[in-house]
Structure 1
Amino acid sequence: MSGPIKVAVLDDYQGISEPKFRALDPTKFEVSFFKDTLRPYNHPDTPQEIKDKLVARLEPFAVISTMRERTPFPSELIARLPNLKLVLTTGNRNRGLDLDAFQARGIPVAGALGHHGSVGSVSTTEHTVAMVLAAARNIAQDDLSVKTGGWQTVPTVGLAGKVFGTVGLGRLGTAVAQIMKKAFGMRVVAWSENLTQERADEKAREAGLLVEDGEGNKTFKAVSKEELFRTADVVSVHVVLSDRSRGCIAARDLEMMKPTAIFVNTSRGPLVVEKDLLGVLEQGRIRAAALDVFDLEPLPLDSPWRTTKWGQDGRSRVLLTPHMGYVEEETLDEWYDVQVENLLRWEKGEELQVRLW
C-alpha cells in the first residue's frame, strides 16, 4: 500500500472522534470526516443516484469507521468497495453490517466496548424513562408555550398505579420496567413472542424484585399481545430488530390502545409499521407518542414527522428525539478510543479487540 492509509470516519455528528483520529501520524494515515449521513444503500426508497453517491464517497478508503447502524453496509454496497480492508464499528453488535459478506471478502470488522462493556444500555434506559415522563407531563409542549409567550397547555397525566406495558422483557425492557415499578408503583405487563410467566418471574428475580406481591399479583405479568395493547397506559418497545420482529407492531395493535395511552419507541423504527402509527396519531386515537427511532434515519426534511402541528386539530401529541438513546459523551468517547487503538493494531498486524467475525 503506497502512501498514507486512507481512513473515512462516518456519521460522528458531535465531532468526538476528530481529535483522536487527527492525532494519528499523518505520514501513515490520511483521515477524512463525513458528518452528513446519506440515505441507506439498501432502503427501498433510496434512488440509484444516491447509491452511486455513497459508493463514490466510500470507494477510495481502505478503512472505514462507522457509528452504530447509521450507515448500513449490505452485501451489494460491500461488493462495490474494492479498496476496503478494515471496518471499525461501535458496540459489540451492528445489524447494519453484512458480516458474512465482509468475511467472504476477508475484511475484518472490529467493534468497540467501553470500560464497563456497555453498548449504551444504561443510557437508553434513562432516555426511555425521560421520554415517558416528558410525554406524560407535556414537557416539550409546555416549554414551547412558555418560550413563545403562552402559559399552561393541557393537563398532565399521572403514572402512579397505572399499567406499564413492555413489548420485550430482555435487558432493556426489564431495566425500564423495574424503574417504572419501583419509582412510580406502576403495574407491569409484558409480552414478546416467546415470553412465558416462568421467564417473566425469573426476570423479576434478576432485577431484585419479588416475583409477586402479598395478594398474589405478579410483579412482571406475562400477557398476550392483545391484552398488553388493550390494558397498558404506557406501551414501551424493547425488542431486537430481526426479520421476524420487523413490523411486529401494526394498526391492529395500536388501534386497541386506550385513548389516554402513551406509545414509546426507543428500540428500532422498523419494529413498527410507520404508516399505521402515523395514521393512529393523526387521528388522535391515543394521548401521545414519544419516539427516538424511525424507519428512515436521519429523517428526510419532508418527513411527515417533521411538523409542529402535533397536538393540534385532534392530532395526538408527539415527542421526537433524533436517536439519542445511546448518545452519551463518555460512551462515544470510549468507543472512538478503541476504534483508534484497533486501527493501530491492524496497521501493525496485531490482534483486534472485539472482532465481530
Structure 2
Amino acid sequence: MKALITANFSDESLTRLTDELGMDVEYLPIADRDGRLPEDELQAHLRDTEVLIVGYEGIPEHLLDEADALQIIACARGGPDANVDIDAATEREIPVLYAPGRNAVSVADFTWGEILSLMRNIAHGHHLLHTGTYTGDARADAAGGGSREDVTWGMGNDSPYVQLKGPELAGKTVGIIGMGAVGREVAKRAQGFDVDLLGFDPYIDADAMAEHKTEKTELDELLRESDIVTVHVPVTDSTRGLIGGDEFEMMKESAYFINNARGAIIDQEALIDQLQSGGIRGAALDVYDMEPIPEDHPLLDFDNVVTTPHLAGAAEEVIDRHSEMLVDDIEAVLNDSDPTHVANEESLS
C-alpha cells in the first residue's frame, strides 16, 4: 500500500509502517516545510495514495473526489473535523482515525508553567532583566552583623523583591473549565500544590470529577469562587464565546485567567477591557482570536499578562504519542479489527 504522511511522525512509527505493515511511504513532514502543503500539490499526491496521515492540510470533499485509491485517513490531531470533511469521507466509506489526548500531558504541564509564571512574575521578571530595568553595577548589599554573607538585589520599595511579589498557590481555588483529557491532567498536577479544585463540564458527572479531587459545579459558581480560572474545552457551537463580558465580570478582582484552549472560546475584547479596568489581576494566553497577533496588539502592553505563541501542545513527546496512536489504529483497520479512535464508525460497517 502507498501511504502519504504530511504530519510530523516518529522514526519508530515510520519503521512500523514500512517494515511491519509493508507500506511504501512518502514522507513530507511539516518540519521540512514553511507551511501547509499547497492544495494542488496535495491533490497530485493523493491520486494514488491509499493511506493518508495528515497534519494540518485541509481535506475537503473535492480533494476526496480525486483520491480514488484512498482507503484510510489518519489525522494527527485531537479534532479531525478541523481540517477533514468527515461527512464526505463517510460517504466514501473512508474511516477517519485521529489522536485525542495526544497533547494532554503537554498542555497540562504548560498550564501550570503559565500559572506560576503569571502569579510569581517569572516571565515579567525575565523581561525586565533583559530590557535593563533591574541590571546595574554589582554590589554587596548585606545588612551586616551576621555570621554569613547575605547578598540581595536591594531592599527598597522599587526593588524586584517588592515590585514583583506575588501570591503562593497553597490554599487557592482553581477552576477548570472542561474536564476532558487536558482538564484531568491539569487536575492531576494540581495535587502537589495544595489547592482546591472546581470543575465545570456538562458532559462529566460529579463522581468522575471526584476521582480527580475536583468538585463539580456550574460555570457561574466556578467563576465567582475561583482564584485561578483555566479553560480546556474544544471549540463547538456551545463553547464558542463561552466566556464573555458577563462571565469576566463574575470573576474576583484578585483572580487570574488562563486560556490554552482556543481563542474563539472567549471574547478577547472583553478580556482586554477587564484587564484595563483592573477587573482581574492578570491573564496568561497561548491562543488568540487571530494568529499571529500583530506587534502592536494591546495584550502585549500589559505587565500582568503572559503571552506565548500557541506553544502549549508543542512538546517533543506529542509526535511520538500521535504517531503510535495512529499506526496502532491503521493496523487495526487493515486487520479488520476495531480501531480505538475513529471519527466515523459507520464507515467501518
Same fold per superposition (TM over 0.5): yes
CA contact (8 A) 1:61 1:83 kept: no
Give the deviation of 1:277 after TM superposition.
Answer: 2.6
CA contact (8 A) 1:163 1:188 kept: yes
Helix, strand or coil for the counterpart of 2:284?
strand
Greater fraction helix? 2
The 1:295–1:102 alpha-carbon spacing in structure 2 relative to 1, beyond 3 Å, is: farther
The 1:240–1:342 alpha-carbon spacing in structure 2 relative to 1, beyond 3 Å, is: closer
Aligned-partner residue type, residue 197 of structure 2: V
Partner of 2:39: 55
Partner of 2:174: 164
CA contact (8 A) 2:300 2:307 kept: no
Q: Deviations over 1:296-343 (max 9, x none)?
A: 4xx2353765964222xxxx4233242423x33233124335656777
The separation in 2 between residues aligned to 1:286 and 1:323, in whole angstroms, is: 24
Q: Deviations over 1:235-283 (max 9, x none)?
A: 1113343222222111110122223211112233322223333443355
Helix, strand or coil for the counterpart of 1:188?
strand
The 1:89–1:288 alpha-carbon spacing in structure 2 relative to 1, beyond 3 Å, is: same
Partner of 2:155: none
The 1:305–1:58 alpha-carbon spacing in structure 2 relative to 1, beyond 3 Å, is: farther
Q: What are structure 1's unaligned runs of at least 5 residues?
A: 39-52, 210-218
The 1:72–1:226 alpha-carbon spacing in structure 2 relative to 1, beyond 3 Å, is: farther
Pairwise mapping of residues 1-357 of structure 1 onto structure 2 (< 5 A)? 5=2, 7-10=4-7, 12=8, 17=10, 28-34=24-30, 35-37=33-35, 54-62=38-46, 63=49, 64-67=52-55, 70-71=56-57, 73=59, 77-84=60-67, 85=70, 86-90=72-76, 93-96=79-82, 97-111=84-98, 119-151=102-134, 152=160, 154-180=164-190, 182-193=191-202, 199-204=205-210, 206-207=211-212, 209=213, 220=215, 222=217, 224-296=218-290, 299-300=291-292, 302=294, 308-311=300-303, 316-325=304-313, 327-336=314-323, 339=326, 351=336, 354=340, 356=342, 357=344
Coordinate RMSD, CA, aligned: 3.8
CA contact (8 A) 1:59 1:82 kept: no
The number of aligned residues is 302
TM-score (norm 1): 0.68
Give the deviation of 1:190 after TM superposition.
Answer: 3.0
Give the deviation of 1:137 after TM superposition.
Answer: 1.2
Helix, strand or coil for the counterpart of 2:233?
coil
CA contact (8 A) 1:55 1:81 kept: no
Helix, strand or coil for the counterpart of 1:183?
helix
Q: What are structure 2's unaligned runs of at least 5 residues?
A: 135-159, 345-349
Give the deviation of 1:146 after TM superposition.
Answer: 2.0
The 1:8–1:172 alpha-carbon spacing in structure 2 relative to 1, beyond 3 Å, is: closer
CA contact (8 A) 1:230 1:256 kept: yes
CA contact (8 A) 1:287 1:317 kept: no
